[in-house]
Structure 1
Protein backbone atom coordinates (compact mmCIF):
# COMPACT_ATOMS: atom_id res chain seq x y z
CA UNK A 1 0.00 0.00 0.00
CA UNK A 2 1.20 3.53 -0.83
CA UNK A 3 1.60 5.10 2.60
CA UNK A 4 1.68 8.66 1.23
CA UNK A 5 -1.48 8.17 -0.79
CA UNK A 6 -3.16 6.43 2.15
CA UNK A 7 -2.38 9.38 4.40
CA UNK A 8 -3.75 11.78 1.78
CA UNK A 9 -6.96 9.74 1.64
CA UNK A 10 -7.17 9.85 5.44
CA UNK A 11 -6.83 13.61 5.37
CA UNK A 12 -9.60 13.90 2.77
CA UNK A 13 -11.84 11.59 4.81
CA UNK A 14 -11.21 13.73 7.85
CA UNK A 15 -12.11 16.87 5.91
CA UNK A 16 -15.38 15.22 4.91
CA UNK A 17 -15.92 14.11 8.52
CA UNK A 18 -16.01 10.45 7.48
CA UNK A 19 -14.14 9.62 10.65
CA UNK A 20 -15.08 5.96 10.97
CA UNK A 21 -13.85 5.20 7.45
CA UNK A 22 -10.68 7.17 8.18
CA UNK A 23 -10.02 5.32 11.43
CA UNK A 24 -10.65 1.88 9.89
CA UNK A 25 -9.14 2.53 6.45
CA UNK A 26 -6.34 -0.01 6.82
CA UNK A 27 -8.72 -2.76 7.91
CA UNK A 28 -11.15 -1.93 5.12
CA UNK A 29 -8.42 -2.05 2.48
CA UNK A 30 -7.01 -5.28 3.90
CA UNK A 31 -10.45 -6.89 3.75
CA UNK A 32 -11.02 -5.62 0.20
CA UNK A 33 -7.70 -7.04 -0.99
CA UNK A 34 -8.22 -10.37 0.77
CA UNK A 35 -11.74 -10.81 -0.58
CA UNK A 36 -10.90 -9.30 -3.98
CA UNK A 37 -13.94 -7.03 -3.85
CA UNK A 38 -15.07 -4.70 -6.61
CA UNK A 39 -14.71 -0.95 -6.28
CA UNK A 40 -18.45 -0.66 -5.71
CA UNK A 41 -18.40 -3.34 -2.99
CA UNK A 42 -15.50 -1.58 -1.27
CA UNK A 43 -17.35 1.74 -1.38
CA UNK A 44 -20.47 0.10 0.02
CA UNK A 45 -18.50 -1.58 2.81
CA UNK A 46 -16.78 1.69 3.75
CA UNK A 47 -19.97 3.74 3.74
CA UNK A 48 -21.82 1.09 5.75
CA UNK A 49 -19.06 1.26 8.35
CA UNK A 50 -19.56 5.03 8.58
CA UNK A 51 -23.34 4.79 8.81
CA UNK A 52 -23.14 2.11 11.51
CA UNK A 53 -20.74 4.20 13.55
CA UNK A 54 -22.90 7.32 13.27
CA UNK A 55 -26.03 5.39 14.24
CA UNK A 56 -24.22 3.92 17.26
CA UNK A 57 -22.97 7.36 18.33
CA UNK A 58 -26.41 8.88 17.92
CA UNK A 59 -27.97 6.10 19.98
CA UNK A 60 -25.36 6.56 22.71
CA UNK A 61 -26.14 10.29 22.85
CA UNK A 62 -29.90 9.65 23.03
CA UNK A 63 -29.35 7.07 25.77
CA UNK A 64 -27.20 9.47 27.78
CA UNK A 65 -29.73 12.26 27.33
CA UNK A 66 -32.54 9.99 28.51
CA UNK A 67 -30.83 9.70 31.92
CA UNK A 68 -32.32 6.33 32.84
CA UNK A 69 -31.46 5.43 36.45
CA UNK A 70 -30.65 1.89 35.32
CA UNK A 71 -30.80 -0.22 32.17
CA UNK A 72 -33.75 -2.64 32.12
CA UNK A 73 -35.28 -3.94 28.91
CA UNK A 74 -38.73 -5.38 28.31
CA UNK A 75 -37.09 -8.74 27.60
CA UNK A 76 -35.83 -8.77 31.20
CA UNK A 77 -39.29 -8.17 32.70
CA UNK A 78 -40.74 -11.11 34.62
CA UNK A 79 -44.27 -11.43 33.25
CA UNK A 80 -44.61 -14.71 35.12
CA UNK A 81 -44.29 -12.88 38.43
CA UNK A 82 -46.26 -9.77 37.44
CA UNK A 83 -49.46 -11.10 35.89
CA UNK A 84 -51.58 -7.93 35.98
CA UNK A 85 -49.78 -6.85 32.79
CA UNK A 86 -49.40 -9.30 29.92
CA UNK A 87 -46.45 -9.73 27.59
CA UNK A 88 -48.82 -9.31 24.64
CA UNK A 89 -50.02 -5.93 25.91
CA UNK A 90 -46.50 -4.57 26.26
CA UNK A 91 -45.31 -6.10 22.98
CA UNK A 92 -48.07 -4.19 21.21
CA UNK A 93 -46.47 -0.99 22.49
CA UNK A 94 -43.00 -1.83 21.21
CA UNK A 95 -43.55 -0.52 17.67
CA UNK A 96 -44.16 2.95 19.13
CA UNK A 97 -47.17 3.72 16.91
CA UNK A 98 -48.81 5.21 19.99
CA UNK A 99 -45.83 7.52 20.38
CA UNK A 100 -46.40 8.89 16.89
CA UNK A 101 -49.95 9.79 17.98
CA UNK A 102 -48.76 11.36 21.26
CA UNK A 103 -50.67 8.85 23.40
CA UNK A 104 -49.84 8.68 27.11
CA UNK A 105 -49.32 5.65 29.37
CA UNK A 106 -50.06 5.24 33.06
CA UNK A 107 -48.49 2.54 35.21
CA UNK A 108 -50.26 2.68 38.57
CA UNK A 109 -49.69 0.42 41.57
CA UNK A 110 -47.82 -0.17 44.82
CA UNK A 111 -44.02 -0.12 45.06
CA UNK A 112 -42.06 -2.99 43.54
CA UNK A 113 -44.59 -4.22 40.98
CA UNK A 114 -42.51 -3.21 37.94
CA UNK A 115 -43.85 0.22 36.99
CA UNK A 116 -40.45 1.85 36.52
CA UNK A 117 -39.00 -1.24 34.82
CA UNK A 118 -41.72 -1.20 32.16
CA UNK A 119 -41.42 2.54 31.58
CA UNK A 120 -37.62 2.31 31.24
CA UNK A 121 -37.92 -0.73 28.97
CA UNK A 122 -40.27 1.15 26.66
CA UNK A 123 -37.99 4.18 26.85
CA UNK A 124 -34.96 2.14 25.78
CA UNK A 125 -36.96 0.66 22.91
CA UNK A 126 -37.88 4.19 21.82
CA UNK A 127 -34.22 5.23 21.98
CA UNK A 128 -33.29 2.22 19.82
CA UNK A 129 -35.87 3.30 17.24
CA UNK A 130 -34.46 6.82 17.08
CA UNK A 131 -36.80 8.72 19.40
CA UNK A 132 -35.72 11.28 21.99
CA UNK A 133 -36.56 10.22 25.54
CA UNK A 134 -36.17 11.81 28.98
CA UNK A 135 -36.64 9.97 32.28
CA UNK A 136 -37.12 12.11 35.36
CA UNK A 137 -38.62 11.76 38.83
CA UNK A 138 -41.56 13.97 39.72
CA UNK A 139 -39.50 15.54 42.50
CA UNK A 140 -36.67 16.48 40.13
CA UNK A 141 -39.13 17.75 37.51
CA UNK A 142 -40.76 20.08 40.04
CA UNK A 143 -37.33 21.45 40.99
CA UNK A 144 -36.63 22.24 37.34
CA UNK A 145 -40.00 23.94 36.86
CA UNK A 146 -39.52 26.05 40.01
CA UNK A 147 -36.00 27.21 39.08
CA UNK A 148 -36.38 27.56 35.31
CA UNK A 149 -36.55 31.38 35.45
CA UNK A 150 -33.38 31.74 37.55
CA UNK A 151 -31.18 28.81 36.53
CA UNK A 152 -29.48 28.37 33.17
CA UNK A 153 -29.22 24.63 33.79
CA UNK A 154 -32.93 24.32 34.58
CA UNK A 155 -33.83 26.41 31.52
CA UNK A 156 -31.76 24.06 29.34
CA UNK A 157 -33.29 20.98 30.96
CA UNK A 158 -36.82 22.29 30.41
CA UNK A 159 -36.01 23.07 26.78
CA UNK A 160 -34.86 19.46 26.34
CA UNK A 161 -38.09 18.24 27.96
CA UNK A 162 -40.16 20.34 25.58
CA UNK A 163 -38.26 18.96 22.58
CA UNK A 164 -38.43 15.30 23.56
CA UNK A 165 -40.66 12.64 21.99
CA UNK A 166 -41.29 10.71 25.22
CA UNK A 167 -41.24 12.08 28.75
CA UNK A 168 -41.22 9.52 31.56
CA UNK A 169 -42.26 11.02 34.90
CA UNK A 170 -41.50 8.57 37.69
CA UNK A 171 -42.99 8.43 41.20
CA UNK A 172 -45.84 10.88 40.73
CA UNK A 173 -47.52 11.16 44.11
CA UNK A 174 -44.60 9.83 46.11
CA UNK A 175 -44.08 13.24 47.70
CA UNK A 176 -46.83 15.88 48.12
CA UNK A 177 -46.52 19.13 46.16
CA UNK A 178 -47.83 22.62 46.78
CA UNK A 179 -50.61 24.28 44.81
CA UNK A 180 -48.02 26.50 43.10
CA UNK A 181 -45.98 23.45 42.09
CA UNK A 182 -49.12 21.69 40.87
CA UNK A 183 -49.91 24.71 38.71
CA UNK A 184 -46.41 24.60 37.17
CA UNK A 185 -46.90 20.91 36.40
CA UNK A 186 -50.28 21.69 34.82
CA UNK A 187 -48.67 24.30 32.57
CA UNK A 188 -46.08 21.76 31.45
CA UNK A 189 -48.74 19.13 30.73
CA UNK A 190 -50.70 21.72 28.75
CA UNK A 191 -47.64 22.56 26.63
CA UNK A 192 -46.93 18.87 25.97
CA UNK A 193 -50.58 17.99 25.27
CA UNK A 194 -51.00 16.15 21.93
CA UNK A 195 -47.35 16.85 21.02
CA UNK A 196 -45.32 14.64 23.37
CA UNK A 197 -46.10 11.24 24.85
CA UNK A 198 -45.92 11.13 28.63
CA UNK A 199 -45.46 7.96 30.68
CA UNK A 200 -46.53 8.32 34.30
CA UNK A 201 -45.66 5.90 37.09
CA UNK A 202 -47.49 6.40 40.35
CA UNK A 203 -48.28 4.52 43.53
CA UNK A 204 -51.54 6.48 43.78
CA UNK A 205 -54.86 5.84 42.07
CA UNK A 206 -56.53 8.77 40.32
CA UNK A 207 -58.91 9.19 43.25
CA UNK A 208 -55.89 10.00 45.44
CA UNK A 209 -54.32 12.56 43.10
CA UNK A 210 -56.26 15.59 44.45
CA UNK A 211 -54.70 14.97 47.86
CA UNK A 212 -51.06 15.19 46.80
CA UNK A 213 -51.73 17.86 44.16
CA UNK A 214 -53.42 19.93 46.83
CA UNK A 215 -56.13 21.23 44.53
CA UNK A 216 -58.99 19.21 42.98
CA UNK A 217 -59.50 21.74 40.17
CA UNK A 218 -55.86 21.57 39.01
CA UNK A 219 -55.93 17.79 39.40
CA UNK A 220 -58.99 17.53 37.18
CA UNK A 221 -57.37 19.76 34.56
CA UNK A 222 -54.12 17.74 34.59
CA UNK A 223 -55.94 14.41 34.30
CA UNK A 224 -58.24 15.76 31.59
CA UNK A 225 -55.24 16.38 29.33
CA UNK A 226 -53.19 13.34 30.28
CA UNK A 227 -56.04 10.81 30.12
CA UNK A 228 -57.64 12.09 26.90
CA UNK A 229 -55.43 9.88 24.71
CA UNK A 230 -53.99 7.26 27.01
CA UNK A 231 -53.69 3.64 28.13
CA UNK A 232 -53.94 2.74 31.80
CA UNK A 233 -52.24 -0.19 33.50
CA UNK A 234 -53.40 -0.89 37.04
CA UNK A 235 -50.65 -3.10 38.42
CA UNK A 236 -51.17 -5.27 41.48
CA UNK A 237 -49.33 -7.98 43.36
CA UNK A 238 -46.36 -8.37 45.68
CA UNK A 239 -43.14 -6.42 45.44
CA UNK A 240 -40.67 -8.13 43.10
CA UNK A 241 -37.76 -6.62 45.03
CA UNK A 242 -38.97 -8.04 48.35
CA UNK A 243 -39.67 -11.46 46.85
CA UNK A 244 -36.27 -11.54 45.11
CA UNK A 245 -34.17 -9.69 47.64
CA UNK A 246 -30.46 -10.29 47.88
CA UNK A 247 -29.05 -11.46 51.20
CA UNK A 248 -25.61 -11.29 52.77
CA UNK A 249 -25.97 -14.84 54.08
CA UNK A 250 -25.55 -18.08 52.17
CA UNK A 251 -28.83 -19.80 51.45
Structure 2
Protein backbone atom coordinates (compact mmCIF):
# COMPACT_ATOMS: atom_id res chain seq x y z
CA UNK A 1 0.00 0.00 0.00
CA UNK A 2 1.17 3.54 -0.71
CA UNK A 3 2.78 5.42 2.20
CA UNK A 4 1.14 8.70 1.15
CA UNK A 5 -2.16 8.14 2.94
CA UNK A 6 -3.52 11.50 4.08
CA UNK A 7 -5.78 12.47 6.96
CA UNK A 8 -8.56 13.05 4.42
CA UNK A 9 -8.09 9.49 3.09
CA UNK A 10 -8.48 8.07 6.59
CA UNK A 11 -11.60 10.15 7.28
CA UNK A 12 -13.15 9.02 3.98
CA UNK A 13 -12.35 5.37 4.73
CA UNK A 14 -13.97 5.74 8.14
CA UNK A 15 -17.33 6.89 6.81
CA UNK A 16 -20.01 4.46 7.94
CA UNK A 17 -17.97 3.28 10.92
CA UNK A 18 -18.91 3.97 14.52
CA UNK A 19 -16.07 6.47 14.82
CA UNK A 20 -16.85 10.16 14.54
CA UNK A 21 -15.19 12.33 11.92
CA UNK A 22 -13.62 14.45 14.67
CA UNK A 23 -11.91 11.43 16.25
CA UNK A 24 -10.72 10.12 12.88
CA UNK A 25 -9.34 13.53 11.90
CA UNK A 26 -7.59 14.00 15.24
CA UNK A 27 -5.91 10.60 15.37
CA UNK A 28 -5.02 10.53 11.68
CA UNK A 29 -3.38 13.94 12.01
CA UNK A 30 -1.38 12.78 15.04
CA UNK A 31 -0.17 9.61 13.34
CA UNK A 32 2.94 8.96 11.34
CA UNK A 33 2.60 8.04 7.64
CA UNK A 34 2.91 4.34 8.56
CA UNK A 35 0.30 4.66 11.29
CA UNK A 36 -2.08 6.40 8.90
CA UNK A 37 -1.47 3.63 6.38
CA UNK A 38 -2.30 1.00 9.01
CA UNK A 39 -5.44 2.85 10.13
CA UNK A 40 -6.56 3.33 6.55
CA UNK A 41 -6.16 -0.39 5.79
CA UNK A 42 -8.08 -1.34 8.93
CA UNK A 43 -10.98 0.96 8.08
CA UNK A 44 -11.13 -0.16 4.45
CA UNK A 45 -11.19 -3.83 5.46
CA UNK A 46 -13.93 -3.11 8.00
CA UNK A 47 -15.95 -1.30 5.34
CA UNK A 48 -15.54 -4.22 2.92
CA UNK A 49 -16.53 -6.70 5.63
CA UNK A 50 -19.69 -4.75 6.47
CA UNK A 51 -20.58 -4.40 2.80
CA UNK A 52 -20.20 -8.15 2.26
CA UNK A 53 -22.27 -8.95 5.35
CA UNK A 54 -25.01 -6.64 4.12
CA UNK A 55 -24.98 -8.28 0.68
CA UNK A 56 -25.32 -11.74 2.23
CA UNK A 57 -28.10 -10.54 4.52
CA UNK A 58 -30.03 -8.91 1.68
CA UNK A 59 -29.66 -11.93 -0.61
CA UNK A 60 -31.06 -14.17 2.10
CA UNK A 61 -33.95 -11.79 2.74
CA UNK A 62 -34.71 -11.57 -1.01
CA UNK A 63 -35.94 -15.20 -0.97
CA UNK A 64 -34.77 -15.92 -4.50
CA UNK A 65 -35.65 -19.36 -5.86
CA UNK A 66 -32.10 -19.38 -7.25
CA UNK A 67 -29.40 -16.72 -7.35
CA UNK A 68 -29.00 -15.72 -10.99
CA UNK A 69 -26.60 -13.31 -12.69
CA UNK A 70 -26.31 -11.59 -16.06
CA UNK A 71 -23.27 -13.72 -16.93
CA UNK A 72 -24.00 -15.91 -19.94
CA UNK A 73 -27.60 -14.70 -20.17
CA UNK A 74 -29.16 -15.04 -23.64
CA UNK A 75 -30.48 -11.60 -24.58
CA UNK A 76 -31.52 -12.63 -28.09
CA UNK A 77 -35.11 -13.36 -27.00
CA UNK A 78 -35.74 -9.81 -25.78
CA UNK A 79 -36.99 -6.76 -27.65
CA UNK A 80 -36.19 -3.56 -25.76
CA UNK A 81 -38.04 -0.25 -26.10
CA UNK A 82 -36.32 2.16 -28.48
CA UNK A 83 -35.36 4.51 -25.65
CA UNK A 84 -34.05 1.83 -23.30
CA UNK A 85 -30.89 -0.26 -23.43
CA UNK A 86 -29.52 -3.41 -21.89
CA UNK A 87 -26.88 -1.40 -20.03
CA UNK A 88 -29.53 0.83 -18.45
CA UNK A 89 -31.36 -2.28 -17.29
CA UNK A 90 -28.26 -3.95 -15.85
CA UNK A 91 -27.21 -0.72 -14.11
CA UNK A 92 -30.59 -0.61 -12.34
CA UNK A 93 -31.23 2.93 -13.51
CA UNK A 94 -34.98 2.38 -13.18
CA UNK A 95 -34.62 2.22 -9.39
CA UNK A 96 -33.52 5.86 -9.28
CA UNK A 97 -36.94 6.99 -10.50
CA UNK A 98 -39.03 4.19 -8.95
CA UNK A 99 -39.65 2.96 -12.48
CA UNK A 100 -41.37 -0.33 -13.27
CA UNK A 101 -40.64 -3.12 -15.74
CA UNK A 102 -43.03 -5.62 -17.30
CA UNK A 103 -41.46 -8.72 -18.82
CA UNK A 104 -44.07 -10.06 -21.22
CA UNK A 105 -43.88 -13.03 -23.52
CA UNK A 106 -43.49 -16.71 -24.15
CA UNK A 107 -42.89 -19.32 -21.47
CA UNK A 108 -39.28 -20.38 -20.94
CA UNK A 109 -37.62 -17.37 -22.59
CA UNK A 110 -35.78 -16.05 -19.54
CA UNK A 111 -38.23 -13.72 -17.80
CA UNK A 112 -37.83 -15.30 -14.37
CA UNK A 113 -34.05 -15.62 -14.75
CA UNK A 114 -33.75 -11.91 -15.55
CA UNK A 115 -36.06 -10.96 -12.69
CA UNK A 116 -33.90 -12.99 -10.28
CA UNK A 117 -30.71 -11.45 -11.70
CA UNK A 118 -32.04 -7.92 -11.17
CA UNK A 119 -32.98 -8.68 -7.56
CA UNK A 120 -29.58 -10.29 -6.94
CA UNK A 121 -27.78 -7.31 -8.50
CA UNK A 122 -29.74 -4.92 -6.29
CA UNK A 123 -28.68 -6.91 -3.22
CA UNK A 124 -25.06 -6.85 -4.36
CA UNK A 125 -25.32 -3.06 -4.52
CA UNK A 126 -26.72 -2.95 -0.99
CA UNK A 127 -30.28 -2.26 -2.12
CA UNK A 128 -33.11 -4.14 -0.35
CA UNK A 129 -35.15 -6.22 -2.81
CA UNK A 130 -37.61 -9.13 -2.67
CA UNK A 131 -38.70 -11.81 -5.11
CA UNK A 132 -42.15 -13.42 -5.09
CA UNK A 133 -44.30 -15.54 -7.30
CA UNK A 134 -47.68 -13.88 -7.61
CA UNK A 135 -49.34 -16.81 -5.84
CA UNK A 136 -46.74 -16.73 -3.06
CA UNK A 137 -47.16 -13.00 -2.50
CA UNK A 138 -50.94 -13.25 -2.34
CA UNK A 139 -50.74 -16.19 0.07
CA UNK A 140 -48.32 -14.26 2.31
CA UNK A 141 -50.58 -11.22 2.35
CA UNK A 142 -53.59 -13.39 3.11
CA UNK A 143 -51.84 -15.02 6.07
CA UNK A 144 -50.87 -11.61 7.38
CA UNK A 145 -54.43 -10.38 7.06
CA UNK A 146 -55.82 -13.41 8.87
CA UNK A 147 -53.30 -12.85 11.66
CA UNK A 148 -54.29 -9.16 11.82
CA UNK A 149 -50.81 -8.00 10.90
CA UNK A 150 -51.39 -6.87 7.32
CA UNK A 151 -50.20 -3.33 8.05
CA UNK A 152 -46.91 -4.69 9.40
CA UNK A 153 -46.51 -6.92 6.35
CA UNK A 154 -47.09 -4.03 3.98
CA UNK A 155 -44.65 -1.89 5.95
CA UNK A 156 -42.06 -4.66 5.68
CA UNK A 157 -42.54 -4.87 1.91
CA UNK A 158 -42.23 -1.10 1.67
CA UNK A 159 -38.66 -1.26 2.97
CA UNK A 160 -37.61 -2.81 -0.34
CA UNK A 161 -36.72 -0.58 -3.26
CA UNK A 162 -37.43 -3.41 -5.69
CA UNK A 163 -40.19 -6.01 -5.69
CA UNK A 164 -40.18 -8.72 -8.36
CA UNK A 165 -43.56 -10.38 -8.91
CA UNK A 166 -43.16 -13.49 -11.03
CA UNK A 167 -45.71 -15.57 -12.96
CA UNK A 168 -48.44 -12.96 -12.95
CA UNK A 169 -51.55 -14.48 -14.52
CA UNK A 170 -50.42 -18.10 -14.29
CA UNK A 171 -52.89 -18.96 -11.52
CA UNK A 172 -56.32 -17.48 -10.77
CA UNK A 173 -56.71 -15.07 -7.86
CA UNK A 174 -59.91 -14.70 -5.89
CA UNK A 175 -61.49 -11.33 -5.15
CA UNK A 176 -59.78 -10.81 -1.79
CA UNK A 177 -56.40 -11.93 -3.14
CA UNK A 178 -56.76 -9.51 -6.05
CA UNK A 179 -57.54 -6.68 -3.65
CA UNK A 180 -54.44 -7.44 -1.58
CA UNK A 181 -52.24 -7.61 -4.66
CA UNK A 182 -53.69 -4.33 -5.90
CA UNK A 183 -52.82 -2.73 -2.57
CA UNK A 184 -49.15 -3.72 -2.89
CA UNK A 185 -48.93 -2.41 -6.46
CA UNK A 186 -50.79 0.80 -5.68
CA UNK A 187 -48.60 1.57 -2.66
CA UNK A 188 -45.44 0.95 -4.72
CA UNK A 189 -46.42 3.63 -7.25
CA UNK A 190 -43.67 6.30 -7.38
CA UNK A 191 -42.21 4.91 -4.15
CA UNK A 192 -40.41 1.73 -5.24
CA UNK A 193 -39.88 -0.31 -8.39
CA UNK A 194 -41.76 -3.37 -9.58
CA UNK A 195 -40.66 -6.06 -12.00
CA UNK A 196 -43.62 -8.11 -13.20
CA UNK A 197 -43.22 -11.20 -15.37
CA UNK A 198 -46.24 -12.41 -17.29
CA UNK A 199 -47.45 -14.19 -20.40
CA UNK A 200 -50.63 -12.11 -20.51
CA UNK A 201 -51.04 -8.96 -22.57
CA UNK A 202 -52.50 -5.97 -20.73
CA UNK A 203 -55.93 -6.52 -22.29
CA UNK A 204 -56.26 -9.78 -20.34
CA UNK A 205 -55.14 -8.51 -16.92
CA UNK A 206 -58.77 -8.05 -15.97
CA UNK A 207 -59.14 -11.83 -15.97
CA UNK A 208 -56.49 -12.04 -13.22
CA UNK A 209 -58.03 -9.40 -10.97
CA UNK A 210 -61.58 -10.40 -11.80
CA UNK A 211 -62.32 -6.71 -12.24
CA UNK A 212 -61.51 -4.66 -15.35
CA UNK A 213 -61.53 -1.39 -13.37
CA UNK A 214 -58.99 -2.70 -10.88
CA UNK A 215 -56.81 -4.00 -13.70
CA UNK A 216 -57.04 -0.65 -15.49
CA UNK A 217 -55.94 1.15 -12.32
CA UNK A 218 -52.95 -1.20 -11.95
CA UNK A 219 -51.93 -0.80 -15.60
CA UNK A 220 -52.31 2.98 -15.39
CA UNK A 221 -49.79 3.12 -12.54
CA UNK A 222 -47.31 0.70 -14.07
CA UNK A 223 -47.13 2.23 -17.54
CA UNK A 224 -46.68 5.78 -16.20
CA UNK A 225 -43.05 5.20 -15.19
CA UNK A 226 -42.64 1.76 -16.71
CA UNK A 227 -41.23 -0.04 -19.71
CA UNK A 228 -42.37 -3.19 -21.47
CA UNK A 229 -39.82 -5.78 -22.60
CA UNK A 230 -41.02 -8.43 -25.07
CA UNK A 231 -39.71 -11.99 -24.76
CA UNK A 232 -40.11 -14.21 -27.82
CA UNK A 233 -38.75 -17.59 -28.81
CA UNK A 234 -38.57 -21.27 -27.99
CA UNK A 235 -38.59 -22.33 -24.37
CA UNK A 236 -35.09 -22.92 -23.03
CA UNK A 237 -36.35 -25.89 -21.05
CA UNK A 238 -38.04 -27.48 -24.06
CA UNK A 239 -35.00 -26.82 -26.24
CA UNK A 240 -32.72 -28.59 -23.73
CA UNK A 241 -35.18 -31.23 -22.53
CA UNK A 242 -34.12 -34.85 -22.16
CA UNK A 243 -37.64 -35.91 -23.16
CA UNK A 244 -37.91 -35.51 -26.92
2 CA distance for matches of 1:51 and 1:153?
36
Residue from 61, 65, 77 that aligns with 2:61: 65
Partner of 1:216: 212
Q: Is the alpha carbon distance of 1:154 and 1:184 closer, same or farther for their aligned partners in structure 2, counting shifts above 3 Å?
A: closer
Partner deviation per Cα, 1:126-178 (whole Å, 9 max, x = no partner): 11222110001100111122222333787654332111100000000000112
Partner of 2:136: 140
Partner of 1:51: 47
RMSD over equivalenced CA pairs, Å: 2.5
Give yes or no for contact 2:154–2:184 (8 Å, CA) kept in 1: no
Counting matched residue pairs gives 213
Give yes or no for contact 2:102–2:226 (8 Å, CA) kept in 1: yes
Partner of 1:127: 123
Say which SS state the counterpart of residue 38 (structure 1) adopts. Answer: helix
After the TM superposition, list the runs of 4 or more consecutive aligned residues in structure 1 that deviate by more than 4 angstroms: 152-157
Partner of 2:25: none
2 CA distance for matches of 1:17 and 1:120?
34
1:109 aligns with 2:105: yes
Partner deviation per Cα, 1:222-247 (whole Å, 9 max, x = no partner): 111122110101211110111123x4
Give yes or no for contact 2:107–2:199 (8 Å, CA) kept in 1: yes
2 CA distance for matches of 1:243 and 1:85?
23
| Bigger CA radius of gyration | 1
1 CA distance for matches of 2:18 and 2:88?
39
Partner deviation per Cα, 1:79-131 (whole Å, 9 max, x = no partner): 24x25459x82222222222010000000112101001111111122112221
Say which SS state the counterpart of residue 75 (structure 2) adopts. Answer: coil
Consecutive unaligned residues of structure 2, counting only runs of 5 or more, are 1-16, 20-32
Give yes or no for contact 2:51–2:126 (8 Å, CA) kept in 1: no
TM-score by length of 1: 0.77
1:206 aligns with 2:182: no
Residue from 163, 182, 195 that aligns with 2:178: 182
Q: Is the alpha carbon distance of 1:83 and 1:106 closer, same or farther for their aligned partners in structure 2, counting shifts above 3 Å?
A: closer
Say which SS state the counterpart of residue 75 (structure 1) adopts. Answer: coil
Say which SS state the counterpart of residue 163 (structure 1) adopts. Answer: coil
Partner deviation per Cα, 1:32-89 (whole Å, 9 max, x = no partner): xxxxx81111111111111111110011001111111111111231124x25459x82
Give yes or no for contact 1:170–1:201 (8 Å, CA) kept in 2: yes
Give yes or no for contact 2:169–2:208 (8 Å, CA) kept in 1: yes
